[in-house]
Structures are given as C-alpha cells and as structure tokens.
C-alpha cells in the first residue's frame, strides 16, 4: 500500500498535534491547580454589599461583609495608610483567619481591598505587624518602590471553630512573612509561608500558641526587632529577637510579666509636662492586648522598665497596635472595639475598630501616664457645628440641645458639677458624674435594660451578659471642672477624659429613634462651661 507523502505529513501533523496537546496539558496541570481559587479568595463577592445599612458605623472601620477582629500590619507608605485586619471571609463569626486589607489617605476614609493573606496548608493567618523595608533588607525590592513586609503568626489548631480546613496532625504556631513589591496591591508568601521564626518549643509554651509578632526598625541599633508573646501557657513570657535581613532572627532577650497577654507593641512616645506642653523628651512604652503598659527604656535588645505596670483599657477594647513608618512624628493606635454585636441587628458585617487616636505620655510626679486623643483628621467629617453659649445652667443648655439630633457626633464638653451628681443623656445611654467618688460612670442603654431584669434572671442568663457593666472613669473633676471629649457613632461611644489620660470605649448600638442629647434636671447648680457638638457625615461613599 502506497502511502503518499501528503498523507504521511497529514498523519504526522495529527500525531504531533495530539502529542503537543498532551504535553501541554501535562505542563498545565500544576499551573491549573495553582490557579484553582482558594475558597477564602472571595472579596469580589463583597462588592454587591454597600455601606448603607441603618446600623452601619459612620466613621468606625467595619468590613463591607463578615467578621473582623484585631487590626494588623498597620503602616504608612507613600501617601497611603494600610490597615490589615483579622477577618473571616466566610461568615460573621470568628474563624478562617485571613488578613483583610483596606487603604486610606487620612485614616478616616477607607477603601477595602482584596484580602491580603489567605489561609494555606492547614493553618490560618493570625495577627502580626507590617513594615516598610526601607533599606531592602529582604532583597526583593522592585525598582524604587519599597517592599511592604508583613510578619504574621501561622496558627494550626484542632478546634472546630478555627475554620473549614482539614484538621492538622501537628498543632503549634510559628511566624511567617508575606511581602508586597507593588505598594500592597498583591502579596507573596516568603518561602511559600515556611517559618521565619520557628516555634520556640514546648518547654517555653506547652500549648505552642506563641503569636502576634511586633516588627519594627530600631534606628539606634540599625536592626529589625521582633517582639513575640510566647503563648497561653508561657506564664507571661515575651521574647525579643533582632535581624539584619528580616529572614534570620537572633535571640536578644526574654521578659516575663504576670500581666502579659497577646498582641505586644513597643513605641517611642513624646513626653508632655503636667501643663500639657511637649517636653522634648521621649520614653519607650511597652503594652499588650489589654493595654497594660510599662514605661522605660529600650536598648535594642531588652526593655528596661522604669515604672510599675498601669492599665489604659476601660470598656470594650482589645489587641491594638500602632502605625509603623508614620509620616509625621505622631504615634497613632487603633484597637478592636470588642462586642460590636451587629449580628443582633442582622447586619452583613460583624465587629468594628476604634477610631484612630494619637498616643503620648504626660509626666505626673515621677510617673508617666499614657494619653490617647482622636486624630485631627476627624474634622474632615464635620458637617453642622453647634456651639452653646459659655457658662450656662443645665436648663439653658437643654433648651439649646432640643433641636439637635444626629447619629454621629464629636462632642467637647466641660462642666462644673458643683460637688453634685450630673447626668448627661446621649442617644439613650448616660454619662453620670458621681460626686461621691469623683468618677464618671457610663451606662449604655442596652445594659440599663438588662439591669432592670437582672434580679429575675437565672445564673445561665446572667452569664450571657457577663461582659456588660457600668464602666467608670476615675479622677473626673480636676479643680472642680470635668473635661470630656465624646465620639458617638451608631455602634459605639468613645469618651476621652481630661486630655485622654483615661479613655472609655464602649460598643453599643443605639436605637434609631434615640437621637437626643440632654442633661437631667437633678443638679440645677451645675455650670456647663463649654459644649460644642459637631455632627459627622459618613466616611463611606
């Protein structure tokens, strides 16, 4: 049988086509597998959800959808603030920990971005911090754009609520790095997410839960520093490491404190004198998730405390951190306002972050006291401003307050209680000056409701309301005058007393019809020295 050259070449070309197709498919398999979308990579499905729900906070960060908890990786680079956060992309409860991401030019108006770091292997991505790799220590910089480096805890656990990944054989945490060479638009896991700081061993923390690394550049020693809380069974141990290249980390020192718990941060703060003037001095302040803090010195390897531990948390608060690489000399902190409970109102999102505040120290005798104060950028949200006449009685103040009704406000209030109780009503919740102990007591509308029923409740029901109480601010009147700044949003109250030396943060969803502000008439002698109310527009477009 004669086979024509034509048919041979036809056959050959058919075979070679098949062969090429087959080998291409083989080559494509790993590529296609890599392209298979992670179930956590679902930000595009959020875009149909806007910010127009009636209980959506107007100027506190929430995710378009789903659960958030700790702020993570706060940093500033090239005109943009980056806010990463613990996020469950698959629901409104905790779990499936992923790093969500948002960008802002002013820390007030945020734009949510694609999730930055997704769970991988059989573990999740817990809290951590981020830096701008200013001297290309990691060695991956592209062009002039500095690399953004995120140091996170990789957490594996067999508990069900961790998420949907198959349970791991081994359980322990380690610290890994993700980086971005395109100003935070995409992220890559360094060494595919392998440990950069390995687990420190079961002798340190039998549970293996060390986490929440704080990474920063220490200019004096020209080193990168990481501070790591060594976990739930480490008896309050905190370990310091140093590095030149962000990849290799050397042990520097250990610190042990009974108060130490999660999410450490170490910041170098301006010291103000007791008259509120910048002294030109700076001190180091170390703090944990509960805002327990000590003030002292950091020598590049160890923290040396110079005063006893204090606490700066009153109310709903956890796991705060500060922005690395701030553009000015401010230190700005954001925390998680726990117990947002937006699920009760069937919102598509859960939980919220605090409004950003600056931090500084005020010298008082030999001690240094932490102060927090809302960042000035809040002014960009002011719409109407109501300035009441100065030094008026309560009755006159109430007449002026009658026509003011807003769901988000920035209030400056200064009053002389004249040694008697005075109650300020705000959207159904109350702030009471307690003359007997010179304290301010905040009672949220929802707890006031619960209080009425507490006596009838059984133990189980009462337990459900465990976190709820009247929160108290100490040392309210100084020389007979109380000075407060109050931020009110649809889901929270943040109260800054006497320049922010005490701060109360309360998650509380005020009812839609509760908009009024007024004083109770119980103290007709009190003088309202100053009352300025700025109504705030929403920061969401």
Q: Show which residues are catalytic.
A: 70
Q: Which residues of 56-92 are buried (b: 16+ CB within 10 A; e: fewer)?
A: bbbbbbbbbbbbbbbbbbbbbbeeebbbbbbbbbbeb
Can you tell me which of 104, 112, 153, 321 binds ligand FRU, judged by CB under 6 A?
Answer: 153
How far apart (Å, rounded) are the C-alpha atoms in residues 179 and 191? 11
For the CB of residue 336, give the shortest distance to ligand FRU in the complex, in Å: 6
Residue 445-474 contact track with ligand FRU, rule CB under 6 A, x = bound: ------------------------------
Antiparallel, parallel or unpaired: β 527-536 and 392-393 = antiparallel
Indicate which single residue of 212, 288, 410, 508 sits in contact with ligand FRU (rule: CB under 6 A): 212
Cβ contacts of 367 within 8 Å, gap of 6 or more:
295, 307
Tokens 């945490």, located at residue:
173
Q: Which is nearer to ligand FRU, 290 or 429 (CB)?
A: 290
Measured CA to CA, the distance from residue 294 to residue 256 in angstroms comes to: 12
The reply to whether 173 sits near ligand FRU by the rule CB under 6 A is no
Which residue number, 205 or 262, has a Cβ lying nearer to ligand FRU? 262
Contact 259, 238 (CB under 8 A): no
Measured CA to CA, the distance from residue 329 to residue 181 in angstroms comes to 26
The minimum distance between CB 355 and ligand FRU, in angstroms, equals: 19
Tell me whether residue 229 or residue 240 sits nearer to ligand FRU (CB atom): 229
Measured between alpha carbons, how far is 519 from 422 in angstroms, rounded to an integer? 7
407 binds ligand FRU (CB under 6 A): no
Report, in Å, the least distance between residue 394 CB and ligand FRU: 41
By CB under 6 A, the count of residues binding ligand FRU is: 14
Say if CB 104 and CB 111 are below 8 A apart: yes
Does residue 175 touch ligand FRU according to CB under 6 A?
no
157 near ligand FRU, rule: CB under 6 A: no
Q: Of 58, 60, 82, 211, which one interacts with ligand FRU (CB under 6 A)?
A: 211
Sheet-wide strand order for 80-88 = 110-112, 98-104, 80-88, 66-77, 349-350
Can you tell me which of 97, 172, 267, 440 binds ligand FRU, judged by CB under 6 A?
Answer: 97
**Residue 126 within binding range of ligand FRU, rule CB under 6 A:** yes
**Which of 319, 333, 350, 353 is the binder for ligand FRU (CB under 6 A)?**
319
**Closest approach of Cβ 318 to ligand FRU, in Å?**
5
The nearest distance, CB 238 to ligand FRU, in angstroms, is 13
Backbone angles phi, psi at 85, to 5 degrees: -155, 150
Of 126 and 519, the one with the shorter C-beta distance to ligand FRU is 126
When binding is defined by CB under 6 A, the residue of 73, 89, 289, 348 that contacts ligand FRU is: 289
Q: Identify which of residues 175 and 324 has a Cβ nearer to ligand FRU in the complex.
A: 175
152 near ligand FRU, rule: CB under 6 A: no
Q: What's the CA gap between 109 and 436, in Å, rounded? A: 42
- At its nearest, how many Å lie between ligand FRU and the CB of residue 80? 24
37-96 residues near ligand FRU, rule: CB under 6 A: 69-70, 86
Write down the residue that tokens 């296609």 correspond to.
Answer: 32
Q: What is the largest CA-CA distance in the chain?
A: 120
Secondary structure (3-state) at 205: coil
Give the integer Cα–Cα distance in Å for 7 and 13.
10
Residue 94 Cβ, how far from ligand FRU at the closest point, in Å?
A: 7
Place of tokens 């935070």: 184
Q: How far is the CB of 117 from ligand FRU (least distance, A)?
A: 13
- x/- contact string, 231-270, with ligand FRU (CB under 6 A)? -------------------------------xx-------
Tell me the C-alpha to C-alpha distance, in Å, between residue 347 and each of 43, 91, 239, 407.
Answer: 17, 12, 40, 17
Q: Under the rule (CB under 6 A), what is the footprint of ligand FRU?
A: 69-70, 86, 97, 126-127, 153, 211-212, 262-263, 289, 318-319
């Amino acid at each position: 049988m004669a086979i024509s050259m034509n048919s041979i070449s036809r056959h050959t070309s058919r075979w070679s086509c098949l062969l090429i197709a087959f080998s291409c498919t083989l080559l494509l398999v790993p590529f296609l597998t890599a392209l298979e979308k992670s179930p956590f990579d679902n930000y595009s499905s959020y875009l149909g959800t806007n910010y127009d729900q009636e209980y959506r906070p107007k100027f506190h960060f929430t995710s378009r959808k789903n659960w958030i908890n700790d702020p993570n990786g706060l940093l500033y680079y090239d005109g943009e603030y980056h806010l990463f956060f613990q996020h469950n992309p698959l629901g409104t409860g905790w779990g499936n920990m992923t790093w969500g991401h948002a960008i802002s030019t002013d820390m007030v108006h945020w734009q949510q971005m694609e999730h930055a770091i997704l769970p991988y292997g059989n573990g999740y991505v817990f809290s951590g911090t981020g830096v701008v790799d200013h001297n290309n220590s990691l060695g991956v910089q592209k062009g002039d754009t500095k690399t953004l480096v995120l140091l996170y805890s990789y957490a594996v656990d067999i508990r069900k609520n961790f998420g949907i990944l198959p349970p791991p054989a081994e359980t322990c945490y380690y610290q890994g790095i993700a980086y971005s060479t395109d100003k935070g638009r995409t992220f890559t896991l360094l060494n595919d997410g392998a440990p950069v700081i390995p687990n420190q061993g079961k002798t340190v923390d039998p549970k293996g839960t060390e986490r929440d690394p704080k990474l920063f550049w220490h200019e004096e020693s020209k080193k990168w520093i990481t501070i790591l809380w060594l976990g739930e069974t480490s008896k309050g141990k905190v370990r310091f490491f140093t590095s030149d290249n962000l990849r290799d980390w050397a042990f520097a020192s250990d610190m042990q404190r009974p108060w130490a718990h999660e999410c450490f941060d170490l910041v170098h703060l301006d010291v103000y004198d007791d008259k509120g003037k910048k002294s030109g001095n700076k001190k180091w302040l170390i703090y944990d998730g509960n805002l327990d803090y000590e003030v002292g010195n950091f020598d590049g390897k160890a923290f040396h405390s110079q005063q006893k531990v204090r606490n700066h948390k009153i109310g709903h608060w956890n796991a705060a951190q500060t922005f690395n690489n701030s553009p000015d000399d401010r230190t700005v902190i954001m925390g998680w306002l726990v117990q947002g409970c937006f699920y009760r109102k069937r919102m598509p999102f859960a939980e919220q972050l605090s409004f950003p505040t600056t931090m500084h120290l005020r010298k008082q005798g030999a001690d240094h006291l932490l102060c927090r104060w809302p960042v000035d950028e809040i002014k960009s949200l002011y719409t109407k401003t109501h300035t009441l006449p100065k030094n008026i009685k309560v009755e006159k103040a109430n007449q002026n307050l009658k026509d003011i009704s807003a769901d988000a406000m920035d209030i400056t209030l200064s009053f002389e209680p004249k040694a008697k109780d005075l109650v300020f009503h705000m959207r159904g919740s109350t702030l009471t000056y307690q003359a007997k102990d010179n304290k301010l007591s905040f009672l949220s509308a929802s707890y006031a409701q619960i209080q009425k029923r507490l006596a009838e409740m059984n133990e189980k029901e009462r337990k459900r309301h465990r976190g709820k109480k009247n929160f108290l601010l100490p040392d309210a009147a100084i020389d007979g005058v109380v000075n407060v700044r109050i931020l009110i949003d649809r889901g929270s109250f943040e109260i800054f007393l006497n320049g922010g030396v005490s701060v109360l943060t309360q998650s509380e969803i005020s009812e839609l019809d509760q908009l009024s502000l007024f004083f109770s008439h119980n103290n007709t002698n009190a003088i309202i020295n100053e009352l300025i109310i700025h109504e705030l527009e929403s920061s969401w477009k």
